[in-house]
Chain A
């Protein structure tokens, strides 16, 4: 019994300790003298491996999500003779919720896990230590470009996801199920607002980008430097990121609905 209480206390202290380490790491990564000329090529390289390589999965899943939402929505709306509302249904659900959230989950699985594994392997093969030896700060050289690439790519990917999903829904709704094209777009335009829907969706995706990138680089930086440790860190990245995205999505939605 005493043992259990002891381990509970130890675990709690461990969690607090890790949160503190993550905070210190991100603080030391972000708060420093910027060196844009040297950092830019590093950032481009990471934008490629984080953003461009995630593009295929984002576009394909965006298309299918749009198509399935249109199909499901049509089958329900047709019972009320309200198929003209298919456009708003598709656009609102994709712009407000599905776009940022699904992109975040895919991003955590595709890019977050890759970031963790890459940094973890660097740590296991002592590349990070060697950098420190020769006077290059690994936080600047390795962590910072990866973190920023994640933060930049996530909203861009979410925007592409939303656009592709709406086009996919258009193909199913208009070309296949026979909703009128003009009604589809005009009812969508009259019910989707730039400010409260589109911008809020993008704000969500920026928040998710920060959270996923932070978790991914921290888990890689802090992993136990063995093959097993890297594997476990990668799993933790995906699990924590997914939970954080879903939880934060609720909080952000509640704040935005409350007219924040």
Chain B
């Protein structure tokens, strides 16, 4: 095998590896969500986020419009502060939009569902969603049912 064809074969090998890496980056790990410019950030405080994780989808009416970028605990209010990145500047949401943590199916992963309100002003970059509803924790529901006490803590406003 000549020297030229060896170099050619090595070149093909390296190109193949780079293509595979690009495919893994964008198609498998979905890094494209971070790279895409535009969009804006929102935040929301929840009493209980259940099993919400980083990168969980944020949807309006079932359509994915963004994802969770960060989850931290507010040290003074002990609420979970969830940072949300909206992918497009064109998804303008009214300022009285409410956020609710929902579950995909009975055992699926958690996601954030946004229900748009009716105010004329729209969210800007860095705004906070005021109305939030916590995740439905099954144990709380069961204990509520069993003891029939009106425990305000689960499933009410933040």
B-binding residues in A (CB < 8 A): 41, 44-45, 47-48, 51-52, 55, 80, 82, 84, 91, 95, 156-157, 159-160, 162-164, 166, 185-186, 188-194, 197-198
Partner of A189, one of B1, B13, B30: B30
Query: Is the Cβ of A52 less than 8 Å from the Cβ of B20?
Result: no
Complex interface: chain A residues within 8 A of B16 (CB): 55, 160
Distance in Å: Cβ of A171 to nearest Cβ of chain B? 15
Query: Is the Cβ of A44 less than 8 Å from the Cβ of B6?
Result: yes
Distance in Å: Cβ of B135 to nearest Cβ of chain A? 17
Partner of B17, one of A84, A95, A160: A160
Query: Is the Cβ of B20 less than 8 Å from the Cβ of A159?
Result: yes
Distance in Å: Cβ of A140 to nearest Cβ of chain B? 20
User: Known contacts being A52-B13, A55-B13, A159-B17, is A189 close to B6, with CB within 8 Å?
Assistant: no
User: Most chain-B Cβ atoms within 10 A of its Cβ — which of A82, A156, A157, A189?
Assistant: A189
Query: Is the Cβ of B10 less than 8 Å from the Cβ of A44?
Result: yes
User: Known contacts being A44-B10, A51-B10, A52-B9, is A166 close to B17, with CB within 8 Å?
Assistant: no
Q: Of all chain A residues, which has the CB nearest B111?
A: A190
Distance in Å: Cβ of A151 to nearest Cβ of chain B? 14
Instruction: State in angstroms the CA–CA spacing of A197 and B55 once bound together.
Output: 14
Q: Of all chain B residues, which has the CB nearest A45?
A: B6
User: Known contacts being A156-B17, A192-B30, A194-B31, is A95 close to B6, with CB within 8 Å?
Assistant: no
Beyond A48-B9, A156-B14, A189-B27, 9 additional contacts (C-beta under 8 Å) are A44-B10, A52-B13, A55-B16, A162-B24, A164-B20, A186-B64, A190-B30, A190-B109, A192-B30
Q: Of all chain A residues, which has the CB nearest B26?
A: A189
- Contact-residue size bin, chain B (C-beta under 8 Å from the other chain): 20 to 34
User: Known contacts being A80-B107, A163-B20, is A192 close to B13, with CB within 8 Å?
Assistant: no
Complex interface: chain B residues within 8 A of A91 (CB): 28
Complex interface: chain B residues within 8 A of A190 (CB): 30, 55-57, 67, 109
Query: Is the Cβ of A48 less than 8 Å from the Cβ of B6?
Result: yes
Instruction: State in angstroms the CA–CA spacing of A51 and B109 once bound together.
Output: 40
Query: Is the Cβ of B29 less than 8 Å from the Cβ of A194?
Result: yes
Query: Is the Cβ of B29 less than 8 Å from the Cβ of A47?
Result: no
Query: Is the Cβ of B13 less than 8 Å from the Cβ of A193?
Result: no
Partner of A47, one of B13, B23, B64, B107: B13
A-binding residues in B (CB < 8 A): 1, 3, 6-7, 9-10, 12-14, 16-17, 19-21, 23-25, 27-31, 33, 54-57, 64, 67, 107-109
Query: Is the Cβ of A47 less than 8 Å from the Cβ of B28?
Result: no
Instruction: State in angstroms the CA–CA spacing of A161 and B28 once bound together.
Output: 14
Distance in Å: Cβ of A153 to nearest Cβ of chain B? 8
- Can you report 24 A-B residue pairs in the complex whose CB atoms are below 8 A from each other? A55-B13, A55-B16, A80-B107, A95-B24, A95-B28, A156-B13, A156-B14, A157-B17, A159-B20, A160-B17, A162-B20, A162-B24, A163-B20, A163-B24, A186-B64, A189-B28, A189-B33, A190-B55, A191-B109, A192-B28, A192-B30, A193-B29, A194-B31, A198-B29
Shortest Cβ-Cβ A-B pairs, 7 listed: A189-B30, A163-B20, A156-B17, A194-B29, A192-B29, A48-B6, A52-B9
Q: Of all chain B residues, which has the CB nearest A152?
A: B14
Distance in Å: Cβ of A146 to nearest Cβ of chain B? 15
User: Known contacts being A193-B55, A197-B29, is A51 close to B24, with CB within 8 Å?
Assistant: no
Instruction: State in angstroms the CA–CA spacing of A158 and B24 once bound together.
Output: 12
Query: Is the Cβ of A198 less than 8 Å from the Cβ of B10?
Result: no
Complex interface: chain B residues within 8 A of A192 (CB): 28-30
Distance in Å: Cβ of B96 to nearest Cβ of chain A? 28
User: Known contacts being A190-B55, A192-B29, is A198 close to B24, with CB within 8 Å?
Assistant: yes
Query: Is the Cβ of A47 less than 8 Å from the Cβ of B10?
Result: yes
Instruction: State in angstroms the CA–CA spacing of A51 and B54 once bound together.
Output: 37
Complex interface: chain A residues within 8 A of B10 (CB): 44, 47-48, 51-52
Q: Of all chain A residues, which has the CB nearest B104?
A: A84
